[in-house]
Amino acid sequence: MIINTDLLKSLRAVTSVKEFNNLIKTFFSKVGIPIVVSGSIPKATPLLVISNHPGAIDSFLLSSYANREDTYFVGIAKFSVFGPVVKKMLLPIYIKEKIDEKILNFILGFFTKVESNSQYSQEQMKQKNRESISRAAEMVNQDNMVSIFPGGDGGKLISGSEWKAGVGFMVKEISNPKTQVVFVKIHGTKPTDYMIFASETLRKLFYKPQPVQVVIKEPVLLSKIINPAENGQSITRSLEDRYNQIFG
């Protein structure tokens, strides 16, 4: 078997975010991924988590260490195959599939039907992505936690920047005055980490676990670090500049 069907069946069978997070942490440990987390994610507050995105498992990683039931994340639409709990947390982004997404489709296809983004036009995908960004802001306005990865594949890079503008447009729609921002830096994950979902035999051949470090900074009130009168791109640049100042 090319895929770890036991893991995927378990992920699709969980009924709560807490159960999902515990399963993910147990599995990371089982496959030998040492994870060191410094800092903590606040509970019971409207929260925007902004992180870099070096690897395929970053969204699951942040969710599993948030210890919150009200956690959502902006991620590729394909993650919905991991079951109803993930689908509930997911704010889906639709992108033109690159080679790594096609390989993931191939692997997951041995277990379940995988929907291809090729059925949507570029304009349809853009509209769906705008709707997800708006819903992400709505989730924060309702006192939930949302993680976003501005350096990920979804969206178009701002000129002279390594971030996409979606985070800025999302922030412009956040109206909850209690919203806090947490900046996170992940070290050690990589794009090929989707191989952890392969069978044990394939995983041992093509996947070498390496230490992962998650650095979580202290929360700051969103209203103190952005000017809501600016446009989405300007807000994105401001957040990126602050992120780079914090992490160097």
Q: Could you tell me the residue ranges of all domains in the chain?
A: 5-247
Q: In which band, very low, low, confident or very high, does the pLDDT at 109 lie, cut at 50, 70 and 90? A: low
Q: Apex CA 16: angle with CA 89 and CA 5, to 5°?
A: 85
Compute the 3-state secondary structure of the chain and give helix, strand, coil in percent, each to the nearest 5. 45, 15, 35
Q: Share the mean pLDDT of the chain.
A: 90
Give the model confidence (pLDDT) of 40-74 as tens digits: 999 989 999 999 999 989 999 999 999 899 999 99
Say how many C-beta atoms besides its own lie within 10 A of residue 88's C-beta: 12
Contact 175, 165 (CB under 8 A): no
CA neighbor of 225 nearest in space, from 208, 241, 244: 241
Which pair of structure tokens corresponds to residue 168?
């800025």
Say which CATH topology domain 5-247 has: Glycerol-3-phosphate (1)-acyltransferase (3.40.1130)
pLDDT digits (tens, 9 = 90+) for 125-175: 999 999 999 999 999 999 999 999 999 877 777 888 889 999 999 999 999
